[in-house]
């Protein structure tokens, strides 16, 4: 897909994409080189192999510019699942250019396909960039104190 003047691709990674996953996480998530020793191709392969784990990345010219991690969770009281959008990050050089929005929209399409009953993400009201992103992608705020949760209902998946 093309966004603005860039050629950006957004996709969910599979177990065969461990090299791309490693590149994305090592360059975008782990900024402290001392922490990188915990990141291994085996751990990423294991993560990607689990069907309820989601690693969505945005690339530009095959270079990772953003990632999203989410978990599809079973419910004890019904057969529908829930989705926890655990974290999302976009390289500072590519922020406010649509990568975060496109990654969330792709996750919402998976939610619709899987009949996920709700998706949520936690943030702080003081994280204005996150608040704007979640609100602009259909999240509805459910706040208490500085903690805030955005809920995505089935109706918002089709936006």
What CATH number is attached to the domain comprising 10? 3.40.630.30
* Total domains present in the chain: 1
The values of phi and psi at residue 149, to 5°, are -120, 135
With cut-offs at 50, 70 and 90, classify the pLDDT of residue 41. Answer: confident
41-55, 70-84, 99-113, 136-150: the lowest-pLDDT one? 136-150
Q: What is the pLDDT of residues 85-114, one digit of tens each?
A: 999 999 888 888 889 999 999 999 999 999
Q: What is the pLDDT of residue 5?
A: 45
| Domain range enclosing 57 | 2-157
Tell me the whole-structure pTM to 2 decimals.
0.83
What is d(CA 21, CA 67) in angstroms, rounded to the nearest whole number? 9
- Greater confidence, 1 or 68? 68
């Amino acid at each position: 897909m093309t966004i603005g003047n860039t050629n950006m691709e957004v996709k969910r990674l599979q177990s065969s994409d461990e090299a791309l996953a490693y590149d994305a996480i090592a360059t975008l998530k782990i900024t402290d080189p001392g922490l990188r020793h915990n990141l291994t191709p085996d751990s990423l392969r294991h993560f990607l192999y689990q069907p309820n784990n989601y690693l969505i990345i945005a690339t530009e010219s095959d270079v990772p510019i953003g990632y999203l991690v989410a978990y599809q969770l079973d419910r004890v009281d019904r057969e529908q699942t829930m989705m926890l959008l655990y974290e999302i990050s976009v390289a500072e050089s590519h922020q406010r250019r649509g990568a975060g929005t496109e990654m969330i929209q792709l996750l919402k399409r998976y939610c619709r396909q899987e009949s996920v009953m709700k998706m949520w993400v936690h943030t702080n009201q003081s994280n204005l960039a996150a608040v704007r992103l979640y609100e602009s992608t259909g999240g509805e705020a459910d706040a208490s104190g500085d903690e805030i949760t955005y809920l995505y209902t089935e109706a918002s998946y089709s936006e």
